[in-house]
């Protein structure tokens, strides 16, 4: 009897605590959504106010309203120029990463090759992109190829380094297990190394999703008549600051979208908890 009475006494308390928890949680969720939005809107307002108060001329910096007007008025032009940049960035991303994955796999299986060529890769990586770009334009001409090559080069290095680490940093006891099971090299690769490398690979892919766009844009600066990079140069020389800002926003939105796609893919593929907390 007494237990029933106690439970009855306890129940309202428990449900009250649960309700309080739910309230706090939903408040927390809204906080996380609203605060960034408020921050962005605040910055835009500040920008608009600064342009208006200091009477900044439109060829130096546009007001947010002017940028928004350009974004809608010249939406066709912006998309027309985004297309080649997007193609270059995505092709470069694929080319650079696939090459890096293949080379990492070779390095892991043939240590001699890793020892011979890894220093060379490091040296090439130390050359800045803006220095590599003209070389590639001379080599590959004025079309999309040099831009794809630049984007690919930028993606290549982080993925190679991470992939080699991911393939090699296998739990030593899991390696011993594979040996006890008499697993072949291919089986060790497919069942152990490859999965082990996936969290490492995705952290590299997230980096290269945004850097590949940078690579394509830098390539277009060197020599191109279309693309986000070309449009940036044209708008700058025409003192059309509203178009310049609009172009930058389009490029960065694409970059963000690319990054989010990779993050989503990571969530779908890497469903287990990564041991090192990537």
Partner 1 sequence: MTAPSTATSALPVAGFPPAAVTAAGEPAVSCRNVTVRFVTDRRTVTALENVSFSVEKGGFLSLLGPSGCGKSTLLRVVADLVSPTHGQVNVLGMTPQDARLKRSLGFVFQDAALLPWRTALQNVELPLEVGGAKKLPSGAPTPRELMKLVGLEGWEGSFPHELSGGMRQRVSIARALLGGPRILLMDEPFGALDEITRDRLNEELRRIWQETGTTIMFVTHSVYEALFLGEQVLVLAANPGRVTELVDVDLPRDRTLKIRETAPFVSIAAELRELLGRGV
Q: Name the one residue in this structure whose structure tokens are 């809608």.
A: 72
Min separation Cβ 167 and partner 1, Å: 14
Our CB check for partner 1 shows the closer of 2 and 182 to be 182
Our CB check for partner 1 shows the closer of 68 and 109 to be 109
Binding residues for partner 1 (CB under 8 A): 171, 173-174, 176-184, 187-188, 191-192, 195, 198, 270-275
Min separation Cβ 125 and partner 1, Å: 30
Our CB check for partner 1 shows the closer of 181 and 238 to be 181
40 neighbors 224 (Cβ within 8 angstroms): no
Min separation Cβ 205 and partner 1, Å: 17
Q: What gap in Å lies between CA 96 and CA 156, rounded to an integer?
A: 5
Q: What gap in Å lies between CA 162 and CA 277, rounded to an integer?
A: 14
Min separation Cβ 112 and partner 1, Å: 21
Tell me whether residue 226 is exposed, middle or buried, using C-beta atoms within 10 angstroms of its C-beta: 0 to 12, 13 to 18, 19 or more: middle
Min separation Cβ 191 and partner 1, Å: 6
2-53 helix and 64-73 helix, angle to the nearest 10 degrees: 90
Our CB check for partner 1 shows the closer of 72 and 173 to be 173
Q: What gap in Å lies between CA 201 and CA 27, rounded to an integer?
A: 36
Our CB check for partner 1 shows the closer of 33 and 271 to be 271
């Amino acid at each position: 009897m007494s237990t029933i009475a106690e439970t009855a006494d306890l129940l309202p308390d428990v449900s009250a605590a649960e309700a309080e928890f739910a309230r706090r949680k939903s408040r927390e969720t809204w906080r996380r959504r609203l605060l960034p939005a408020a921050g962005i809107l605040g910055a835009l307002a500040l920008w608009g106010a600064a342009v208006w108060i200091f009477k900044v001329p439109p060829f130096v910096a546009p007001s947010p309203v002017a940028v928004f007007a350009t974004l809608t008025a010249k939406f066709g032009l912006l998309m027309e120029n985004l297309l080649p940049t997007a193609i270059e960035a995505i092709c470069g991303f694929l080319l650079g990463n696939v090459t890096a994955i293949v080379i990492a796999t070779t390095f892991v299986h043939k240590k001699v090759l890793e020892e011979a060529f890894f220093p060379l890769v490091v040296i090439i990586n130390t050359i800045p992109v803006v220095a590599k770009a003209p070389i590639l334009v001379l080599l590959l001409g004025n079309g999309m190829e040099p831009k794809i090559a630049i984007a690919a080069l930028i993606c290549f290095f982080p993925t190679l380094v991470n992939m080699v680490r991911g393939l090699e940093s296998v739990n030593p006891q899991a390696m011993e297990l594979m040996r006890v099971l008499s697993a072949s090299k291919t089986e060790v690769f497919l069942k152990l190394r490859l999965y082990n490398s996936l969290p490492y690979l995705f952290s590299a892919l997230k980096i290269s999703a945004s850097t590949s766009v940078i690579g394509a844009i830098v390539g277009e600066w060197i020599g191109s008549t279309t693309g986000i990079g070309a449009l940036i140069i044209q708008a700058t020389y025409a003192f059309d600051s509203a178009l310049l800002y609009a172009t930058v926003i389009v490029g960065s939105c694409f970059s963000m979208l690319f990054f989010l796609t990779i993050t989503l893919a990571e969530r779908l593929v890497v469903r287990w908890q990564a041991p090192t907390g990537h």
